[in-house]
A and B are shown apart, each in its own frame.
Chain A
Amino acid sequence: MPPSRLSIFPLFLILSSAGANAKPLQLEITQWTLKNGMRVIYSPHRRVPAVTVQVWYHAGSKDEHVGIRGIAHMFEHMMFKGSKHVPPEEHARMLSAVGGDTNAFTAEDMTAYHDTVPRQYMGFAMKLEAERMRNLHLTLEAIKSEREVVKEEKRMRMENNPIGHSLEAIYALAYTKHPYAWTPAGVMEDLNRTTRKDYQRFYDTYYVPNNATLVVVGDVDRAEVERAAQQYLGPVPRGKEPPRVTVREPQQTTTRVQKADWPSQLKIVLGAFHIPEARHADIPALQVLSAILSAGQSARLNQVLVRKGKLAVAAGGFVSLQEQPGLLMIYGVGLPSHDLDRIKAALLQQLELVGRQGVTPEELTKARNQLTTSRLSKISTLTGLAYEIGSSALLKDNPRAFLTEVAALDSVTSADIERVARTYLTPQNLSLVLVDSPPPAPRTGGAP
C-alpha cells in the first residue's frame, strides 16, 4: 500500500533581503505518514553521493520523572548495545564498514539517531533503525555496565567544567515543577536506582513508530525513500499513543540566585529568563534580540562588557528553544581579576536598556543578515539540513518552520523587541548562577 499522504507539497523559497542579486533558493521538503503512524520527511540534497537517515523520537528528558532522570540519555547509549538481530556495537561497525557514520543525541524534547551513509545503503540504514526501534535486547547486565559509562561521562563533564555545572544548576533553579529542571544528563542517584522494568517501560512507551519521525536527506529520489520506508519501517507495529507532559511551570515571581560552590579558574555569571515555547509568536523577536545582544564581535554585550568596559573576557546570550516554555540565557565570563558583581550589573543594565530604548534600524538589519547567513550555513550540509528539518518538526510540529520563520524574523521591529524585553527580561523572571574563582592566597609575610 502506498504511504498515505497527508501533505505533500514542495516548498520553493526565495531567500532574499534588501538588495539585488537575490537568487531563488529551491528547497523541496515533502512529508507523509505511514499507516503505523510514523511520520516521514524527505528532502533531496545532491551535493554529495550520500544520504542521512535519521529517526527522531519524540522523547527526551522532559518525559522522565523523579526516579528515572537520565533514562532518555541512557537509551542513546543502549540503542548501540545490541538488539535481536544485531550484536552489541555491530550497528556502528556495520555502517562504518560501508563508509558511514552513526551518532545520536539526547535533548529535553527528543532523542535523535542519525546514520549517514553512501546513498546506496539507505535501505540498510533504515533496516537497522527499524530493528532497534522495537527489538532492543535490554538486559540488566548491559544496563549496569552502560550506566557506569554514563555516570563517568557525567562526572568528567562536571569535574573540570564549571560551565557544564553552571548550566545544570540554572535549569534546576529556574524550574521548580516542570521536568526541564533537570537536563538529559540526569541525576546520579536516579541513574543508580532505575530498574530494568523502568527501561522496558520507557522503551515500549516512547520507542514506537507513531512517536517517531524519519528524516531522510540526501542524494536519493522520493520514490526510493517511499519504497524503502514502507519496506523497512512500515511493518513495525504501531504502539499506544504515549502520554505527553502537561505540567506547567508556575510563574516565577522573584529573582532567584545561587552562588556556586564548585571550583572554577574563571568567574562566571549565568542568567536565565523564562520565555515561551518554540512556536510562540514572541519567539522571533526574542531571537532577533539575542542576536543583537550577542552575535558577532560588534554585538552589544561584547562591546559594552568586553571591549569598552573591560569587565569580562566574554559576554553574550542565547535562546534555549524548547517544545514547552524555555529560557533565554545571558552570560559573562571573567578572569580572577575581574569583578563578578560588576559583570552581573552590566549584563542586567544592558537588558533594561533594550526594554527602555529598543534597538536601532542598523542593528535590526544586522541581526537579520546574521540570522540568514547562519541559516544558509546550517543547511549547506545534508546533516545540517536534516537537523533543521528534524528540530522544526519536533519543536514546532512543522518541518518547514526554519524556512517559514524567515518572514517573521524579517518583520521584527524595535517596538516588538522593546515589548518582549519588558515582558520577559524582568527581575521577577530571572534566575542567576554566580561562580566566583578563588581569590589569590591571603598573605602574611608573602605569597605562595
Chain B
Amino acid sequence: MTSRRTPRRTAVAMLLIIGGCSGPAVKSDPLEVYQTPPKRTAREMDYWNNRTDLFKNPSVQPAQALTPPTLQRFQLKNKLSVLLIPDHRLPLVDVQLLIRTGAIDERPLPAGLAEFTAQMLRQGTRRMTADQISSAVDTAGAGLSIESDYEVTSIHCRARSKSLALCLQIVADLVIGPTFPAQEMGQIRDRLLSGVKTMRDDPETLAAVHFDAMLYGDDHPAGRTMTEQSVRRIRREDLVRFHREYFRPSAAILGVSGDIEPAKLNQAIRTAFHRWPQEPGRGRLRFDPVLDPPKGLRVLLVDKPDLSQSFFSMGHAGITRTARDRDAVSVLNYILGGGGFSSRLMQVVRSKGGKTYGINSHFYRAAADGSFVVQSFTRNDQLVATLDLARHELRRVQGTPPTKVELEAAQGKIAGGFPIRLKTAAAMTQKLMQAQLWGLPDSEVFDFPLRIQRLTTSDLLQATQHIHPDHLVAAVVGKASEVAPLLRRAEIPFTQIDYLAPISTRERAALKQPPTVAITPQELKAARKVLERALEVAGGRKRLAAIRALQLTGDATVEAKGQSQGGTFNARIMLPDHMRLGIALKAGIAVVQVLAGTRAWIQVGPQRKDLPAAVVARWKAMVWREPVLLPLHALDPGVRARITTLAGVPASRVAVELFPQDLPSATLIIERRTGHLVEVRHVDRTGQTRVSELSQHRKVNGVLVPHRVTATSDGRKQSVEYKQVEINPRLKVEDITG
C-alpha cells in the first residue's frame, strides 16, 4: 500500500542517489524536524511581540485555472489510450507508460511479484537482451526507469528529440514482449532482497509496513509486504503469468511529451504498440475494505532495543481517489498535519508539546481503499504522551473545525502553488494521465486551483467526518522495555513482537505453535534406543550431566563464492543460558555474540547492539544443541523423538527428529556403526535448513567431542577446528559478558 515508504529506500539506493549528484554533500531541509524540538519560550518571542514594523504578507491573488496546453488524444484499436503534449522549449522528449496494475493484483501469489515483474521487463525481450537494451539506451544518452507501486506500474524513457523513435520502440518492446530470462532473475532478486534487508533496520518504514498489516489484515493486498521468504518463492512462471494477465493495453495510458510533432507521431505510435494484444478483461477480486475498526486505540509494539526513539504510524481507513469531497479532505489534511510547521499537529505536538521534531498526517488515496496515517517519532519515554496529544488533535478537528484563517493559508499554498509545481510538460502529462487512469476528466487538473479556492469552512467541517479519533490502530517501533510499561500504565491494549518477527499475523501465529507431530509410544521407544547408545558413546549420562561449563578454542574458516577466509574462534558456555562466541577473521573485524540469561547482544568491533527477546530464545536453543551436550539433552524428559527417513542420509546413518518443549525441533544424524553424532540439522526462522557436520571425534576427559564443526547454509560454509577443549573450566559471568 502506498502508506509505506517502499523498502527500496535502501543503502544501495541512497548511495546511487548520492553518487548521482555531483552537488553538495549535505542537502538538508532546515524545515525538516528531528528528535527533540525547540520549545519557543514566551521570553524569546518578546522581541517580536507588540511590534508594528514587522513584515506583512502580501495580499494573495485569486487563484486561476491552469491554461490547458495543446494536447492530442486518441485510442488504438487495442484500447491503449494515447496523450500527446508538445513543448518545443528544449530538445527533450518523454515517453511515459502508465499501467493500472501493481501489488494490488498479486494475490494469491507471493508479495513482491508485481515489482519483480516490473524490474524484469528490461532484463530481456523477444527483440533484445538486457545488455542490448542498456547499450541502446545509454548510447543514445537516454534514461529508462521502471517503477511499480500499489496500483500503478510505470515505464519512463527520457531522451533527446532525435531518439524519440528509440524510446517508443523500447517502451513498447518492454511491455509487449518481455521474455523473463531465468538467468536474469538472480540479479533482480538480489536487488529486492537487499531492499527487504534494510527495511528491518529502518524504523520509520517498519512502522508503516506494520500499520498497513494491522489496518488491512493478511488477506488484503495492502496489508501484505515483500519479505525474504516471499521473494524467494517467486518463480519464473509467476512473472510470465502476472505480465500476461495484468499488463493490458486497455488498462494503460501512453503519454508522449516534449519536442514532438503530434501529426507525425500518430503513425509511429500505432506501429510500435499495435502488436500489444488485447486480453479479455479479468475482474478484480473484491475484498473487505479494512478490518472492523477497533474501538479506542489498538497498538502493536515492535521491539527494537537499540532505538532511543520510538517511531509510530497511527490511523484508520481513508477515502478513495474519486471521493466527492476529496478536495476538502486535502485542505483539511493540510491544516491538520500536512502543511508543515503551521499545521495543527505540528504546533501542538512540536512547538507547544516539545515531544517531537516531526509529525505529519496524510490521506493515502487508492482506487478502492485509502488510509489516513499520522506519523511521527519521539523519545521512548514520551511515546504515550505524544500519542495522546495527537489523538487529542484528531478529536479537536471536529470540535473546533478549521477557521477561515487556516482555510485561507491552506488555499494560498495549495491553489497558489499548484501551477508552479507542474514544472515541465512531462510533469503535466503525467498528472493528466493519472487523472485519466482513475476515470477523472482533465478538469480535475486544470480546475484544481479554482475548486480549492471555492471551498468554504463548512466544506471542511463536512470533511472532518473522515477523521475517526476513537477508532485507531497504531504500529510503534521502539524500545519495548521503556515503552511497554508506559502503555500498560495508560491502559492502552497492545501486542508486543520483535522487529525481526514476520509482518503477517498468520505467519507469526504459525511460528508460535508449530503443528504438533503425533508420535506413537513405539516410535518414541525406538528413537530413544538410538539416542541412549549415542549417549553412552559420548561418555555416558553421569559424565555429561556433570558438565557445567565448556571452553572451545580453535581455527575458523569461512568459505563463500569460492573464496576462503581464515581466523580464530572461541566459545565459552556456562550452562544453561550463558554463552560467549567470538570469531575474528584475519581480514576482518572481530564479532562477539553474547547470551547472558535474559539478554543477548552482538558486538562488532567496538559497537554493541542489544538484541530482542526472540534472539535470546534462539540462542538458548543453540546452547541446548551444543554437540557435546546434545546426546544428553536429547533424552531430557518432555523431549519427544522419532526415527525418520531423510533424502540424502545413507543407510549407514540414522536420522532422529527431536521435538523438545518450548524449543525449535532439530534432527540428529547418528552413525550406526560408531554411535557418533555426525550431523545436526534445524530449520531457522526464515524457513531455511541449517546443517552442522561434526567430525574428528576425540575424547576429552572421557567426553566425546567432535573437534571439527562445519556449518552450511545459503551457499556459505563455516568450519571450526578446535585446538583446545576444556571441560568445566573455571568461568565467571564476566568471562561471558566481557
Contact indicator B41/A141 (Cβ below 8 Å): yes
Complex CA distance for A416 and B142, rounded to whole angstroms: 25
Residues of B in contact, count (CB < 8 Å): 144
Point out the residue from A19, A337, A362 that lies within 8 Å of B162, measured CB to CB.
A19
Q: State the CA gap A248–B24 with chains docked (Å).
A: 21
Cross-chain contact A108 with B25 (CB below 8 angstroms): yes
Shortest C-beta distance, B139 to chain A (Å), equals 5
Known A-B contacts A329-B19, A342-B563, A439-B591; the reply to A76 vs B30 at CB < 8 A is yes
CA distance A97 to B407 in the complex (A): 10
Q: How far is the CA of A47 from the CA of B461 in the complex (A)?
A: 37
B38 engages A145 (CB within 8 Å) = yes
Chain A residues 357-380 with CB under 8 Å of chain B are 362, 365-366, 368-374, 376-377, 379-380
Among A97, A137, A369, max chain B CB count under 10 A is at: A97
| Stretch of A198-206, A222-230, A255-263, A422-430 that contacts chain B | A255-263
Bound Cα distance from A46 to B424, whole angstroms: 11
Q: Is there contact, CB below 8 Å, between A185 and B26?
A: yes
**By the criterion CB–CB under 8 Å, are A442 and B419 in contact?**
no
Q: Which residue of A lies closest to B53 (CB)?
A: A85
Q: For B190, list chain A residues within 8 Å (CB).
A: 313, 335
List the A residue with the shortest CB-CB distance to B138. A296
Residue from B18, B58, B140 within 8 A of A167 (CB atoms): B18
| A189 proximity list for chain B (CB < 8 A) | none
Q: B93-135 vs A: 1/0 string, CB under 8 Å?
A: 0000000000000000000000000000000000000110011
Q: Say whether, besides A161-B14, A266-B11, A298-B135, A373 and B27 are in contact (CB < 8 Å).
A: no
> Is B139 in contact with A366, judged by CB distance below 8 angstroms?
yes
Tell me the complex Cα distance, A341–B564, Å.
11
Complex Cα spacing A89 to B350, Å? 13
- Pick from B203, B583, B585 the residue with the most CB of A within 10 Å: B583
Question: Chain B residue with minimal CB distance to A117?
Answer: B420
Q: Are A105 and B28 in contact (CB under 8 A)?
A: yes
In this complex, the interface size class of chain A, counting residues with CB under 8 Å from chain B, is 35 or more
* Bound form: Cα–Cα A164–B552 in Å: 39
Encoded as 1 (CB less than 8 Å from any A CB) or 0, chain B from 196 to 236 comes to 01100111000000000000000000000000000000000
Q: Tell me, yes or no, whether A294 is within 8 Å of chain B by CB.
A: yes
Please name the residue on chain B nearest to A297 by beta carbon. B134
- Which residues of B are found within 8 Å of A187, using beta-carbon distances? none
Whether the Cβ atoms of A442 and B556 lie closer than 8 Å is: yes
Q: Is A279 an interface residue when CB atoms closer than 8 A count as contact?
A: no
Cβ of A148 < 8 Å from any Cβ of B?
yes
Interface membership of A32, Cβ < 8 A: no
- Closest beta carbon of chain A to B36's beta carbon, Å: 6
B25 near A107 (CB under 8 angstroms)?
yes
Task: Tell me whether A446 is interfacial, beta carbon within 8 Å.
Answer: yes
Beta-carbon contact of A86 and B187 below 8 Å: no
| A319 CA / B604 CA spacing, docked (Å) | 32
Chain B contacts with A in 16-52, Cβ cutoff 8 A: 16, 18-41, 43-45, 47-48
Contact residues in A for B624 (Cβ distance below 8 Å): 445
- Chain B hits for A192, CB < 8 A: none
List, in ascending order, chain B residues with CB within 8 A of A73's CB: 26, 28
Residues in B lying within 8 Å of A, measured CB to CB = 10-12, 14-16, 18-41, 43-45, 47-48, 53-55, 57-58, 60-61, 87-92, 130-131, 134-135, 137-143, 158-162, 186-187, 190-191, 193-194, 197-198, 201-203, 259, 339-342, 357, 408-409, 412-420, 422-425, 552, 556, 558, 560-561, 563, 569, 571, 581-583, 585, 587-589, 591, 593, 602, 604-607, 609, 615, 618-619, 621-622, 624-627, 630, 666, 680-682, 684, 690, 692, 709, 711, 713-716, 718, 720
7 sampled A-B residue pairs with Cβ under 8 A: A48-B422, A49-B419, A103-B30, A266-B198, A369-B141, A373-B159, A443-B711
A interface residues with partner B (beta carbon < 8 Å)? 15, 19-23, 25, 46-50, 60, 73, 76-77, 79-80, 82, 85-90, 92-94, 96-108, 110, 116-118, 120-121, 124, 127-128, 131, 137, 139, 141-142, 145-146, 148-150, 152-153, 155-156, 160-164, 167, 171, 183-185, 259, 261-266, 268, 294-299, 303, 306-307, 310, 313-314, 316-321, 329, 331, 333, 335, 337-342, 362, 365-366, 368-374, 376-377, 379-383, 387, 391, 436, 438-448
The 4 closest A-B pairs by CB, nearest first: A99-B416, A369-B141, A107-B24, A145-B38
